[in-house]
Amino acid sequence: DTEVTQTPKHLVMGMTNKKSLKCEQHMGHRAMYWYKQKAKKPPELMFVYSYEKLSINESVPSRFSPECPNSSLLNLHLHALQPEDSALYLCASSQEMRGPRGNQPQHFGDGTRLSIL
């Protein structure tokens, strides 16, 4: 069991659909992350929220829209995705984005496996 919960676990959508991925943590962490991971590759950072404010956007296309409604929740809104967006989308959290001694350990959810038809 992980302390970061992601829903849904699997999602199949067409290129014209609108859907949302959800992530929840109750560890009191103030930094939350979205990653995209392709098979046999490391995770690629998409967005970072720190204290509910968007801190990092790694030049992600606007068809991905993040939202942080409160300190425990993180959403990723999807619209007009492309087949190449099919991947595992991982949410993670950490106490802070960076501490005085560098990046802090991140806690990951099990991801949403997204398939674009």
Partner 1 sequence: SQQGEEDPQALSIQEGENATMNCSYKTSINNLQWYRQNSGRGLVHLILIRSNEREKHSGRLRVTLDTSKKSSSLLITASRAADTASYFCATDGAQLIWGAGTKLIIKP
Judged by the rule CB under 8 A, the positions of this chain that interact with partner 1 are 2, 4, 6, 40-43, 45, 48, 56, 90, 92, 97-98, 101-103, 105-111, 113
| CA dist., res. 63 & res. 78, Å (int) | 6
Straight-line distance from the first to the last Cα atom of the chain, in angstroms, rounded to the nearest whole number: 30
Number of other residues whose CB lies within 10 A of the CB of residue 70: 8
Q: Which is nearer to partner 1, 11 or 56 (CB)?
A: 56
Q: Which is nearer to partner 1, 67 or 108 (CB)?
A: 108
Minimal distance in Å, beta carbon 100 to partner 1? 9
Minimal distance in Å, beta carbon 45 to partner 1? 5
Number of other residues whose CB lies within 10 A of the CB of residue 105: 7
